């Protein structure tokens, strides 16, 4: 940009503000151009006209090109690198239009340039009215496009590091070194930046015809697909419980068995979750298979597994896991890690190869009453099919709005 921009309020540590500020300058020059058009018939290429023509020439010959380069060489490629889903689709449609605008505005400018040069020199007083109008209209629409779409997208998607990189590149284009690419302003908190994380889902759909009548069979089908897709920890599920005062809490556990009876995991019967389940046996499970853009929500009552089942699973575990289960009073505070290790060593020293299952360790089984299958779809228009258990044990199902 020109010197007056460099003196202006936003610095290159706020590159989007700089680009918007450039638009302000462009609007000012377009207005000068329109006033010059109105001025010439009456006054010819007088001193005022010559100065106005020179100012418009100076701006559009240099600063406007730098501004276009900022967009073509930095802003658009950087947006392309980070945009996903809806943003990527928007950009795919928008970027070619922006680039085409630049070309066409340059072409109109070539005609105006000759006329303005002659006016600035005082050798002619002719300015094409249709040319000026086309130039003004084209630029105005172009800037509105950028301000309504690209600038907010960049503000949403760029990290502070990416902003700093964009600002540094724009500064370098004008011969200014900006903080070696390091953020020149305090980085926005990551907690605020999460609003810009956006993923569109489009891998699959879930039609009423696709799902099986029995939700456990449907879950089995999806679980097999999760295994095949090698999703991260497909058996990890969130368990939400509610305490005696109605306050919820949740944690991840591993499902160790599922069948028509329900979904089973193993834990400590003195843990917080166990205490809450004793106070209120209603709980909710949640599987999130991100790689398949799927979640399964399961709600029902929780019961303990039989001692035989708990024994069987306990003895199937590696010895160290069994010793850990014995040594840990899960959910109870302890002074430090060293004390925890000492407890383990003490248990290990006495336990032998086949320690018995402690009475306070075993399985919980959630007996489902409601199971919902969720498949992510494009633009947040997801598929949801929910099964509800009837009194006679049969299941009904219906579609829910996303
Ligand atoms: C991937 C993963 C798997 C876990 N699996 C179990 C499990 O199967 N059983 C268990 O008691 N805790 C498991 N935990 C630990 C629990 O999340 C939790 O910390 C622990 O059960 C104590 O919860 P509570 O104090 O609410 O009872 C797992 C944690 C993670 C992250």
For ligand 1, atom 18: residue with the closest CA: 251
Does 173 share its domain with 248?
no
353 in the same domain as 228: yes
**Range in 26-40, 174-188, 276-290, 297-311 with the lowest mean pLDDT:** 174-188
192 inside domain: no
3-state secondary structure of 177: coil
- Ligand 1 atom with minimal separation from the 275 CA: 27
The DSSP code for 99 is: H
Instruction: Measure 331 CA to ligand 1 centroid, in angstroms.
Output: 10
Q: Are residues 97 and 48 in the same domain?
A: yes
Using CA atoms, how far residue 249 sits from 46, 55, 239, 271, 282, in Å, is 79, 66, 8, 12, 12
* Residue 9's pLDDT band (cuts 50, 70, 90): low
Does 287 fall in a domain? yes
Query: Is 305 inside any structural domain?
Result: yes
CA of 286 to the centre of ligand 1 (A): 14
Q: Do 219 and 142 share a domain, yes or no?
A: no
- Whether pLDDT at 65 is above 50: yes
**How confident is the model over 61-75, as a mean pLDDT?**
88
The pLDDT > 90 percentage for the chain reads 64
Average pLDDT (114-119) is: 92
How large is the C-alpha radius of gyration of the chain?
Answer: 33
- Residue 179 pLDDT level (bands cut at 50, 70, 90): low
For position 83, what pLDDT does the model report? 86
Establish if 204 belongs to a structural domain: no
Question: Which residue's alpha carbon is at the smallest distance from atom 11 of ligand 1?
Answer: 267
| Residue matched to tokens 């700093």 | 164
Q: What is residue 261's predicted lDDT score, i.e. its pLDDT? A: 97
Q: How many domains does the chain have?
A: 2
pLDDT of residue 242: 98
Residue 93: how many CA atoms within 13 Å on its side-chain side? Answer: 7
The average pLDDT across 109-136 equals 92
Q: How far apart are CA 44 and CA 34, in angstroms?
A: 14
Percent pLDDT > 70 in the chain is 95
Q: Give the residue from 177, 198, 229 where a domain finishes.
A: 177
Q: What are the backbone angles phi and psi of residue 361, rounded to the nearest 5°?
A: -135, 130
Ligand 1 atom with minimal separation from the 273 CA: 27
CB-based pocket (< 6 A), ligand 1: 233, 236, 249, 251-254, 265-267, 271-273, 330-331
pLDDT at 100 over 80: yes
With a cut of 60, say whether residue 337 has pLDDT above it: yes
Q: Is residue 135 assigned to a domain?
A: yes
Domain-ending residue, one of 123, 153, 177: 177
Of all protein residues, whose CA lies closest to atom 22 belonging to ligand 1? 331
- Domain extent for 224: 215-400
Q: What distance in Å separates the CA atoms of residue 223 and residue 2, rounded to the nearest whole number?
A: 61
Mean pLDDT of 352-371: 97
Q: How far is the CA of 201 from the centre of ligand 1 (A)?
A: 29
**What number does the ligand 1 atom closest to the CA of 274 have?**
27
- Are 143 and 236 in a shared domain? no
Whether 378 is a known active-site residue: answer: no
My answer on whether 164 and 236 are in the same domain is no
pLDDT at residue 187, rounded to an integer:
55
Residue 106 or residue 370, greater confidence: 370
Residues 134, 23: one domain?
yes
Instruction: Determine the distance separating the centroid of ligand 1 and the alpha carbon of 268, expressed in angstroms.
Output: 10
In angstroms, rounded to a whole number, what is the distance separating the alpha carbons of residues 303 and 287? 20
How high is the mean pLDDT of the chain? 91
Whose CA is closest to atom 30 on ligand 1?
252
Residue partners of 286: CB distance under 8 A and separation at least 6 = 237, 238, 240, 295, 296, 297, 298
Pick from 238, 253, 277, 366 the residue to mutate for probing ligand 1's pocket: most ligand atoms within 8 Å of its CB.
Answer: 253
DSSP state of 399: E
pLDDT above 90: residue 246: yes
Catalytic residue among 377, 380, 389, 399, which?
Answer: 380
Q: Does the residue 92 lie in any domain?
A: yes
CA of 252 to the centre of ligand 1 (A): 5
Average of pLDDT values for 375-380?
Answer: 92
CA 251 to ligand 1 center in whole angstroms: 6
Q: Which stretches does DSSP call E strand in 229-339?
A: 236-242, 248-254, 257-259, 262-268, 282-289, 294-304
User: Is 189 contained in some domain?
Assistant: no
Least confident of 2-11, 91-100, 107-116, 237-246: 2-11
**Structure-model confidence comparison of residues 196 and 268, the more confident one:** 268
CATH number at residue 390: 2.30.110.10
Q: Is pLDDT of 183 > 70?
A: no
List pLDDT tens digits, range 266-314: 999 999 999 999 999 999 999 999 999 999 999 999 999 999 999 999 9
Question: According to the model, what pLDDT value does residue 178 have?
Answer: 65
Mean pLDDT of 114-118: 92
- Which of 121-125, 248-252, 283-287, 313-317 is the least confident region? 121-125
The mean per-residue pLDDT over the stretch 359-384 comes to 96
Q: Are 281 and 301 in contact (CB under 8 A)?
A: yes
End-to-end CA distance of the chain: 47
Are residues 220 and 327 part of one domain?
yes
pLDDT at 186 exceeding the cut of 60? no
**Last residue of one domain, picked from the residues 152, 177, 202:** 177
Regarding whether 148 and 69 lie in a shared domain, the answer is yes
Q: Could you tell me if 112 and 241 lie in one domain? A: no
Same domain, 108 and 241: no
CATH number of the domain bearing residue 110: 1.20.120.520
Other CB atoms within 10 A of residue 172 CB: 14
Atom of ligand 1 nearest to the CA of 254: 8
Are the beta carbons of 169 and 76 closer than 8 angstroms?
no
Shared-domain flag, residues 291 and 148: no
The predicted pLDDT at position 185 comes to 47
> Is the Cα dihedral 175, 179, 181, 184 positive or negative?
negative
């Amino acid at each position: 940009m020109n010197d007056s921009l460099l003196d202006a309020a936003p610095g290159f540590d706020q590159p989007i503000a700089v680009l918007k500020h450039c638009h302000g300058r462009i609007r000012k020059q377009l207005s000068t151009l329109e006033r010059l058009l109105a001025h010439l018939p009456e006054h010819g290429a007088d001193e005022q006209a010559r100065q106005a023509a020179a100012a418009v020439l100076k701006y559009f010959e240099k600063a406007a090109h730098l501004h276009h380069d900022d967009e073509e060489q930095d802003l658009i490629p950087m947006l392309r690198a980070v945009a996903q889903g809806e943003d990527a689709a928007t950009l795919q449609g928008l970027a070619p239009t922006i680039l085409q605008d630049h070309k066409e505005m340059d072409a109109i400018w070539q005609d105006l340039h000759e006329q303005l040069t002659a006016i600035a020199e005082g050798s002619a007083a002719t300015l094409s009215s249709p040319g000026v109008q086309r130039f003004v209209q084209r630029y105005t629409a172009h800037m509105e496009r950028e301000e309504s779409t690209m600038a907010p997208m960049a503000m949403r998607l760029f990290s502070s590091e990416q902003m700093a990189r964009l600002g540094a590149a724009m500064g370098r284009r004008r011969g200014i070194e900006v903080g070696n690419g390091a953020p020149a302003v305090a980085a926005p908190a990551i907690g605020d930046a999460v609003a810009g994380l956006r993923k569109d889902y489009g891998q699959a759909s879930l039609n009423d015809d696709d799902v099986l009548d029995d939700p456990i069979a449907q879950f089995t089908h999806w679980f097999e697909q999760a295994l095949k897709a090698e999703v991260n920890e497909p058996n990890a599920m969130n368990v939400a419980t509610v305490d005696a005062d109605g306050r919820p809490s949740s944690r991840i556990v591993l499902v160790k068995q599922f069948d028509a009876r329900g979904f089973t995991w193993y834990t400590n019967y003195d843990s917080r979750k166990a205490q809450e389940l004793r106070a209120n046996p209603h709980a909710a499970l949640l599987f999130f298979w991100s790689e398949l853009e799927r979640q399964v929500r399961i709600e029902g009552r929780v019961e303990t597994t039989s001692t035989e089942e708990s024994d069987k699973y306990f003895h199937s575990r590696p010895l160290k896991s069994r010793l850990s289960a014995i040594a840990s009073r899960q959910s109870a505070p302890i002074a430090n890690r060293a004390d925890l290790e000492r407890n383990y060593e003490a248990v290990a020293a006495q336990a032998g190869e086949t320690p018995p299952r402690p009475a306070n360790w075993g399985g919980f089984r959630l007996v489902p009453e409601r199971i919902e299958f969720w498949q992510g779809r494009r633009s947040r228009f997801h598929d949801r099919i929910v099964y509800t258990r009837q009194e006679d044990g049969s299941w009904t199902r219906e579609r829910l709005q996303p």
